[in-house]
Amino acid sequence: MELMYKSTRNETQTVTASEAILKGLSDDGGLFVPVEFPKLQKPLSEIAKMSYQETAYEVMKEFLTDFTEEELKNCINRAYDAKFDTEEIAPLVKADGAYYLELFHGATIAFKDMALSILPHLLTTSAKKNHVENEIVILTATSGDTGKAALSGFADVEGTRIIVFYPKDGVSEVQKLQMVTQKGNNTSVVAIHGNFDDAQNGVKEIFGDKELEAELKEAGFQFSSANSINIGRLVPQIVYYVYAYAKLLQNEEIIDGEEINVVVPTGNFGNILAAYFAKQMGVPIHKLICASNDNKVLYDFFQTGTYDKNREFILTTSPSMDILISSNLERLIYLIAGADAAKNVEFMNDLKTNGVYKISEGMKEALGDFAAGYASEAQVNERIRGLYEETGYVIDTHTAVASYVYEQYKEETKDERKTVIASTASPYKFMKSVMCAIDESFKEKGELSMVEDLSKTAKVEVPIAVKEVLDAKILHTKECDADKMKATVKEILGVN
């Protein structure tokens, strides 16, 4: 049976999976959600014997029902290949009583690779299925990792262009270098004078601009998104939570049906939402623990039921989480509102107009699957150093947020269930922050001079992604003010 998708802001129209992937965002500004949650068709005990690629097919075929078996397997096999430096794609590492799901073994050493390796293939397949003849322009805002992973995935992909906006002073040195040295005739990178929320709002406004859409159509272009608002980004992320549970089963760390907890460091809410979708598919997850940094808008929401972005924006050492508008939360709000699009529109309008909305008591009760915590900068440093001194295992700043929040959660609840922590980036992506947390004497050193120090400390070989950027030529120098993003897009595409 075909699974259809509807917008969080209009339940009257439905689209196929390939149409939802192509559009990225619904015409009414809403995000696409499946009309119902499919279940895994094979028992987890059987999935436990499967490779990552086979697991991906078992999960994704339930969501992308208008793709043929051949089309979907082709997308999966082209995505999860030798560009990952481990055969298992997402290894589970046990350290200090928790299981770290390492999601950073792809080409850009961050978890975004897990979905952005396959999205270009899903998108180009969707375009063929829907007889699209326009060139597809991927428009993306990034807080650091999505940008490079999307650029890497879409570079020189026929029939596509990609434009990435990032906050000029809001990413790490390595993240910036990875983007500005990106090759590919169809790639553009722009630093904006503002923060990630400014970039994300600018992209959403461009998507909602009907006049611009008509101009672009005339010139032979149409927009799509590589952000986690695209269902083609979210569905591949469900896979690694199913895979993690299956691996724990295979390794006899748990028994079939035993509940686990999952901890996810999150800013835009996409990664933890994927874990929530995995739970809906039948993975026995007890608590989804949402870990925030000092920009704790999500933590406050789970504590109070009020989402309030009216606060100081704090630049932290976990920049991919420096976000005050968590776009993907809209999908959860829609679902806990009983799939009531009108109610969801009310909340989103309040957010746009006043920067705040408050959910009902009934909706608050529907958040029972979630727990939340946050870590300050000092606590992040303390956790990186503590885990290293106890175990020799080195984690990045984002993973440290999740690790600290898990320790806090365990202390408060005495919940001893086996727990998977989403390890979202390699420590090499945030070398200075990681090395300074372990040893303060590194504060005097430049970030890029620490590569060998980190390699010796972590006893991990320097990833190819880091070696490549150290000597790469800077190819992208364009900058713009946040209110000039539309004009910049037109200039890049040559549309006057």
Whether the Cβ atoms of residue 36 and residue 223 lie closer than 8 Å to each other: no
Q: Specify the DSSP class assigned to residue 459.
A: T
* pLDDT value for 470: 87
Q: Which is nearest to 437 in space by CA: 371, 373, 378, 375?
A: 378
CA 440/CA 428 separation, integer angstroms: 17
Whether the Cβ atoms of residue 332 and residue 325 lie closer than 8 Å to each other: no
Strands (E), 8-97: 10-15, 32-34, 92-95
The amino acid at residue 87 is: E
pLDDT digits (tens, 9 = 90+) for 18-72: 999 999 999 899 999 999 999 999 999 999 999 999 999 999 999 999 999 999 9
Would you say how long the chain is, in residues? Answer: 496
pLDDT digits (tens, 9 = 90+) for 163-190: 999 999 999 889 999 999 999 999 999 9
* pLDDT value for 145: 81
Q: What is the largest CA-CA distance in the chain?
A: 62
Strands 10-15 and 135-141: unpaired
Q: pTM for this structure?
A: 0.93
Q: Specify the DSSP class assigned to residue 367.
A: T
**Consecutive H or E run containing 137:** strand 135-141
Residue 12: partners with Cβ closer than 8 Å, 6 or more residues away? none
Q: Specify the DSSP class assigned to residue 143.
A: S
| Total H helices, total E strands in the chain | 22, 16
What does the DSSP assignment read for 180-226?
Answer: HT---TTEEEEEEES-HHHHHHHHHHHHT-HHHHHHHHHHTEEEE--
Residue carrying the six token digits 């989402």: 307
CA 420/CA 403 separation, integer angstroms: 10
Question: Residues 48-55: contacts with CB within 8 Å, 24+ apart?
Answer: 48/246, 48/247, 48/249, 48/250, 49/250, 50/246, 52/80, 52/88, 52/89, 52/90, 52/239, 52/243, 53/77, 53/80, 53/89, 55/239, 55/242, 55/243, 55/246
CB-based burial, 195-205: b 16+ in 10 Å, e otherwise: bbbbbbbbbbe
pLDDT in tens, the chain (496 residues): 899 999 999 988 899 999 999 999 998 999 999 999 999 999 999 999 999 999 999 999 999 999 999 999 999 999 999 999 999 999 999 999 999 999 999 989 999 999 999 999 999 999 999 999 999 999 999 987 888 999 999 999 999 999 999 999 999 889 999 999 999 999 999 999 999 999 999 998 999 899 999 999 999 999 998 878 899 999 999 999 999 999 999 999 999 999 999 999 999 999 999 999 999 999 999 999 999 999 999 999 999 999 999 999 999 999 999 999 999 999 999 999 999 999 999 999 999 999 999 999 999 999 999 999 999 999 999 999 999 999 999 999 999 999 999 999 999 999 999 999 999 999 999 999 999 999 999 998 988 899 999 999 999 999 998 998 888 999 999 999 999 999 999 999 999 7
Return the C-alpha torsion angle 461, 465, 471, 474, nearest 10.
Answer: -160
Provide the token pair at 342: 């009108």
Whether the Cβ atoms of residue 369 and residue 386 lie closer than 8 Å to each other: no
* pLDDT value for 406: 98
* pLDDT value for 146: 87
* pLDDT value for 226: 87
